[in-house]
Structure 1
Amino acid sequence: MASGAVHDRLILWTSPVVAGVTWQVTGGGHLPLLVTGGYVFSGLMFSGDLDIPSRQWQRWGLCKVFWIPYQKCLKHRSIWSHGLIVGTLGRLIYVGLGLGILLAVGLGISVWRGEPWPVELWVRQYVTLYKTELFAVVVGLELGAWNHSVSDWVSSALKKWRT
């Protein structure tokens, strides 16, 4: 399994390639920035190694406590944390649940105070207006996860082959 430092270097070294390929595929504009930003964020902050006390987990600072239930529920390097598509989707769902809880608390406070809180309308409009941009970020997150998982698999295979 590759070390945290190796994962970081791989993400940073390959991000120009991701940016260049995305630029070619999309014809430029803001989408390459969103894909590459998602890719770097995924590698440095949102990787499969959030299931253990890793570099990525440490980078969350005080917010790292948010990931403790995630760590307790998942075995390290399981398909649910390191699986292609499944791992990223699981982390996005986990974050979505956390945000949903915060939104529910905010809505409860708003209702209790008798104030309107149009956050549902705002979220729906945002997702509708920026679905291409959201898709670009998710593609970047998944590419970063692939970088992480594939480098783990290659590293493990090389270690087995050498012994």
Structure 2
Amino acid sequence: MPSGRTHDRITLWTLPLVGGLTLIATQSSTLTLIICSGYLFGGLMFGPDLDIHSVQFKRWGWFRWIWIPYRGSIKHRSPLSHSPVTGTALRIVYLLTWVGLVSFITLALMNELWQLGWTWGDIAGFLGRSLQQRRVEWLMLVLGLELGALSHYIADGALSTYKRFKTKGWKALQPPPLRPTRKPASKRRTSSKASLTPKRRSKP
């Protein structure tokens, strides 16, 4: 598989292409900036290799400890981490769980220290309104994260295909041969019984 540095170079080299296509499609510099930010973050810090002690894991610095449970519960290159949409969605849910927990604790401490009179419903409503009011921007950010992870999947798949092609030639690109289908057990029993039953001779 490509090294972490190789994935970083791919992310940085393809960033102008992602930014140019996004600007043409959206005609918005704000949305382009959001998608490019998500693409960089997804490719450099939020990629599939967070399931191992990788470069992406180390870049979290003091906050890398939040990914230790993630690493311990998911095997490297598992479909839960190295598959389109599913891998990014799971990492987003995992990170939002930590962010939501820290946000609730922080706002609750502020409420107790300064006697702001907030209830848990007020705190949840504040977080919910902030997400709803900027839902387009959040969707663009999620799209950028998925594109950053997608570059990782494509690089891994391309290198694996190249290695197979280098060792096996064109046979590596051919689909595996189909296995002969077996008859159902009931039919096999019927045919075996029929073969054991002696045939009756017709009378002349």
TM over 0.5: yes
1:143 to 117, 126, 147: 147
Q: For structure 2, list consecutive stretches of 5 or more residues without a partner in the other structure.
A: 168-204
What is aligned with 2:157? 153
What residue is the counterpart of 1:127 in the other structure? 131
1:82 equivalent to 2:66? Answer no
User: Aligned residue for 1:46?
Assistant: 46
Separation in 2, partners of 1:55, 1:109: 34
TM-score by length of 2: 0.75
In the TM superposition, residue 112 of structure 1 has moved relative to its aligned partner by 5.3
Rate the CA distance shift 1:116–1:153 in 2: closer, same or farther, 3 A. Answer: farther
Greater share of residues in helix: 1
Distance in structure 1 (CA, Å) of the matches to 2:128 and 2:97: 17
**For 1:15, what is the secondary structure of its paired residue?**
helix
List structure 1 segments (4+ residues) > 3 angstroms apart after TM superposition.
106-119
What is the root-mean-square deviation in Å for CA atoms of aligned residues? 1.6
Structure 1 length-normalised TM: 0.92
Q: 1:100 to 1:28 in 2, by over 3 A?
A: closer
Residue 5, structure 1, aligned to residue 9, structure 2: no
Aligned length: 163
Cα pair 1:110 1:116 within 8 Å, conserved: no
Of the two structures, which has the highest relative contact order with CA contacts closer than 8 Å and spacing of 6 or more? 1
**2:125 corresponds to which letter in structure 1?**
L
